[in-house]
Chain A
Amino acid sequence: EAGVVQSPRYKIIEKKQPVAFWCNPISGHNTLYWYRQNLGQGPELLIRYENEEAVDDSQLPKDRFSAERLKGVDSTLKIQPAELGDSAVYLCASSLQGTFYGADEKLFFGSGTQLSVL
């Protein structure tokens, strides 16, 4: 079974530049999440999608961040303009439904995109 695929793996940009991250979830997974993981910290949820609908974007800094999930499959996360403090690993995750407890309902993470803003 293919896992959650993210690209690019690494991205280095200068501040004020735009950047975009792409995620392809596991086939059939309805729920998709974007997390941000700062160095030495645990992941923090940015946005959660149920199919095409963003059901929780309360932690997404909407002045510069945007996300979309067209057709309820792939998703992109965009930052424009990027700031120095945006340097982090951006993780995409998916689950079959909105739950991720127990052996049957696991949250699967991709390897992330490591963003460095100079």
Chain B
Amino acid sequence: QKEVEQDPGPLSVPEGAIVSLNCTYSNSAFQYFMWYRQYSRKGPELLMYTYSSGNKEDGRFTAQVDKSSKYISLFIRDSQPSDSATYLCAMDSGGSNYKLTFGKGTLLTVNP
């Protein structure tokens, strides 16, 4: 079993839909949780960051972490065609060895 599991999709939704992206993980030491967005032929860029459990909202994006279930989510409200990209979850346990563990990524297409 991989440390981080993410459904690769692809996921196709109409413009304006609410999108839910999820990851599960097995390493209970993870306490830093991130979502990266990667456009085609580009490097990943940090979208959301959450420490430990809880919710974090930034505009149309909401990140949720449930450490008891080892489950994280990213919600996108009022999705736009410009949101079409691959979304990667990433996690780390902190400390001095910074080694992000990424999920496979979910390919999202928002259709106008």
Q: B98 contacts A100, CB within 8 Å?
A: yes
CB distance B51 to A101 under 8 Å?
Answer: yes
Task: Give the chain A neighbours of B94 by CB distance below 8 A.
Answer: 101
The reply on B17 being an interface residue by CB < 8 A is no
B71-112 at interface with A (beta carbon < 8 Å): 88, 90, 92, 94, 96-100, 102-105
> What chain A residues lie within 8 Å of B46 (beta carbons)?
100, 106-107
Known: A40-B104, A103-B49, A111-B42. 6 other contacts (CB 8 A): A40-B8, A42-B102, A99-B98, A101-B34, A108-B45, A110-B43
Interface size on A, residues (CB 8 A): 26
**Does residue B60 face the partner (Cβ distance < 8 Å to A)?**
no
Which residues of B (1-45) have their CB < 8 Å from a CB of A?
A: 4, 6, 8, 32, 34, 41-45
A109 close to B100 (CB less than 8 A): no
In this complex, the member of B8, B51, B97, B100 whose beta carbon has the largest number of chain A beta carbons within 10 angstroms is B100
| B45 & A109 in contact (Cβ 8 Å cutoff) | yes
Chain A residue numbers with a CB within 8 Å of B6 are 42
